[in-house]
Structure 1
Amino acid sequence: MSETYYLMGMIMDFHSSSAEDGYFLCSAILSSGAGAPPNRHMNDQESFFIQKGQIEFSVGDEIITAGPGQFVKVPRGEVHAFRNATDQEAEMLILNVPGSIHENVFRICGTKLEPGSREWPSPEPELDMAWVARVCAEEGLEIVG
Structure 2
Amino acid sequence: MVWGDLYSFKTTSAESNGAHALLEMTVNPGSATPPHIHHAEDEMFYVLEGELSLWCGDQKIVGKPGSFIAVPKGMVHRWANETKSPARSLVFLVPGGFDEFLMKIGKPATDSVKPSLPPTKEEIDFALSIAGKYHMEVVTQ
| TM-score bin (small chain) | 0.7 to 0.9
* Equivalent position of 1:3 in the other structure: none
Amino acid at match of 2:14: A
Residues in 2 aligned to 1:140 and 1:123: alpha-carbon distance in whole angstroms: 26
Identity %: 27
C-alpha offsets along residues 85-140 of structure 1, whole Å, 9 cap, x if unaligned?
A: 1011110000001120x2111111001125xx414279877453122111112221
Amino acid at match of 1:59: C
Gaps of 5+ in 1: 1-5
Amino acid at match of 1:74: V
C-alpha offsets along residues 6-45 of structure 1, whole Å, 9 cap, x if unaligned?
A: 1133100000011221210000101101132111012111
* Equivalent position of 2:106 in the other structure: 110
Aligned with residue 114 of structure 2, among 110, 113, 120: 120
Residues 4 and 116 in structure 2, CA contact (< 8 A), matched pair in contact too: no
C-alpha offsets along residues 47-84 of structure 1, whole Å, 9 cap, x if unaligned?
A: 00001111111001111111000000001100000010
Gaps of 5+ in 2: none
Structure number having the greater strand percentage = 1
* Equivalent position of 1:83 in the other structure: 80
Runs of 4+, deviation exceeding 3 Å? 121-127
* Mapping of residues 18-37 of structure 1, within 5 Å: 18-21=13-16, 22-37=19-34
- Give the 3 Å change call, closer, same or farther, for CA 49–88 of structure 1 in structure 2: same
SS in 1 for 2:15: helix
What do you get for the CA RMSD once the two structures are aligned? 2.0
Residues 29 and 116 in structure 2, CA contact (< 8 A), matched pair in contact too: no
* Mapping of residues 33-52 of structure 1, within 5 Å: 33-52=30-49
Residues in 1 aligned to 2:60 and 2:100: alpha-carbon distance in whole angstroms: 28
Residues 50 and 71 in structure 1, CA contact (< 8 A), matched pair in contact too: yes
Residues 32 and 89 in structure 1, CA contact (< 8 A), matched pair in contact too: yes
Total equivalences in the alignment = 137
TM-score, structure 1 as length reference: 0.86
* Equivalent position of 1:97 in the other structure: 94
TM-score, structure 2 as length reference: 0.88
User: Are 1:54 and 2:51 matched, yes or no?
Assistant: yes
Worse-matched range after superposition: 35-44 or 118-127: 118-127
